[in-house]
Amino acid sequence: KKLGYALVGLGRLSTNQLAPALEKTEHAKLAAVVSGTPSKRDKWRAKYDLGDHVYTYEQFDRLADDDAVDVIYIVLPNGLHAEYTIRGAETGKHVFCEKPMANTAEECRQMIAACEKADVKLGIGYRCQFEPHHLKAMETVRSGGLGELRGLGAGFGFKMPADADPDQKLHWRLNRELAGGGPLMDVGIYALQFCRYMTGREPISVTAQTTLTESIKFRQVEETLGWTMTFPSVLESEAKERNLPEPLRAQVTASCATTYNFGGFNQGEAFGEKGSVLLKPAYSYSGLDGSVKGEPMNLDTPDQFAVEIDAFSQSVKQKSPFKCPGEEGLRDLLAIEAIYQAAETGRRVEVAQL
Ligand code: NAD
């Protein structure tokens, strides 16, 4: 049986990526929608033959009684993820939530607790963790294919349209309450994820700085942010076993950046003693490209959303662990909070560990 998904928020991602993906999935199908806009509700009801399974935000909690719905998929602005994930869990349905998981680590903790209490699964939308180029790069680095890992570089950004204004809900990405932050929350998180899953480890400490060219547009969130993260090159247990001196225990520096000021910045690279792995473009929906030690990967990019939705659906059906649970989203927010604190204070900040 295909699991029924309720899409909550019918913006660009739901319209252009998720609804088409739910027509390709083996284990999932679109079963319901939640939207505040009457014209969208009518359009989706007709286009996807949804009948009564169309809800307003005021009717959200009624999803509890909709037997066609197994999973509630939160596709709202970041600042609403926590509220709707928690209310979603309280309906007794499983919850899949878009990245970034929430505005703060504290909200992430509340979301995890709510899903545990309701005994439902929680998944976070990290599509790249299911994408063949990323998997190949990850496998190469983590199996020691580059020898000892020495450094990482990653960045993702785009140009925010000229008419964007933080007071218009249309541009919620510039509004602090709705977005939680600027490009770091929206696209820089892909670079952060890249570094975390390439190393398979958590950053120990970070430094960061921001730059600003359009002070009116970016009065609530950062415009461009550059940051570094220090990762342990060897685990503490290995370090003790091999009797390594202190300086060799924290050797991998990641240099990262994110921006709303220019496009075409979309890459991830890992450098080891025997060569490097490069992904560029790294985080697009299609047309990804990459190489290992200069050799092209020559891999196809499937519909990343269909693959990730099928993976979550199988975890729900089989009651098995999902690759990107709430804790994965929380770990990113712990690093993000440290990065913002470092940018604000100009100091190196330690990353709180889970
Ligand atoms: P969008 O602006 O196109 O859509 C957001 C939707 O939320 C709109 O339909 C809007 O009407 C609705 N909404 C409901 N309440 C709102 C409120 N109070 N204020 C503003 N809008 C409200 O945004 P999007 O690009 O579809 O992004 C939605 C979520 O999906 C975000 O969390 C974003 O980070 C995530 N996203 C993920 C990917 C990915 O590749 N995984 C790509 C794009 C977006």
Q: Is the CB of 186 under 6 A from ligand 1?
A: yes
Distance 323 CA to ligand 1 centre (A): 23
Distance 217 CA to ligand 1 centre (A): 19
pLDDT (tens digit per residue) in 112-135: 999 999 999 999 999 999 999 999
Give CA–CA dist 201/205, Å, rounded: 12
HSE, CB side, 13 Å, CA atoms: give it for residue 147: 9
pLDDT (tens digit per residue) in 247-283: 555 579 999 999 999 999 999 999 998 999 999 999 9
User: Is-catalytic flag, 5?
Assistant: no
Q: In this predicted structure, what is the pLDDT of residue 142? A: 87
User: Is-catalytic flag, 190?
Assistant: yes
Strand 3-8 with 28-34, pairing? parallel
All structural domains of the chain with their residue ranges: 3-128, 129-298+325-350
Distance 96 CA to ligand 1 centre (A): 14
Cα torsion 282, 287, 291, 294: sign: negative
Q: Is the CB of 75 under 6 A from ligand 1?
A: yes
The conformation of residue 160, written as its DSSP 8-state character, comes to: P
Superfamily assignment of 129-298+325-350 in CATH? Answer: Dihydrodipicolinate Reductase; domain 2 (3.30.360.10)
Q: Name the fold adopted by 3-128.
A: Rossmann fold (3.40.50)
Q: Which amino acid is at 284?
A: S
Q: Is the CB of 18 under 6 A from ligand 1?
A: no
Contact 94, 121 (CB under 8 A): yes
Q: In what order do the strands lie in the sheet with 3-8?
A: 54-55, 28-34, 3-8, 71-74, 94-98, 122-125
Question: pLDDT category, 170, cuts 50, 70, 90?
Answer: low
Distance 81 CA to ligand 1 centre (A): 10
Q: Is the CB of 310 under 6 A from ligand 1?
A: no
Mean predicted confidence (pLDDT) in 225-235: 86
Residue-by-residue DSSP string for 274-336: TEEEEESS-SSSS---EEETTEE-------HHHHHHHHHHHHHHHT---SSBHHHHHHHHHHH
Give CA–CA dist 105/99, Å, rounded: 13
Which residue CA neighbors atom 31 of ligand 1 most closely? 77
Buried-state track 276-289, b at ≥16 Cβ within 10 A, e below 16? bbbbbbbbeeeebb
Q: In this predicted structure, what is the pLDDT of residue 215? A: 81
Give CA–CA dist 195/189, Å, rounded: 10
The conformation of residue 54, written as its DSSP 8-state character, comes to: E
Q: Could you check whether the bond before residue 183 is cis, i.e. omega within 30 degrees of 0?
A: no
Give CA–CA dist 56/75, Å, rounded: 14
Q: Is the CB of 98 under 6 A from ligand 1?
A: yes
Q: What pTM does this model have?
A: 0.96
Give CA–CA dist 111/207, Å, rounded: 28
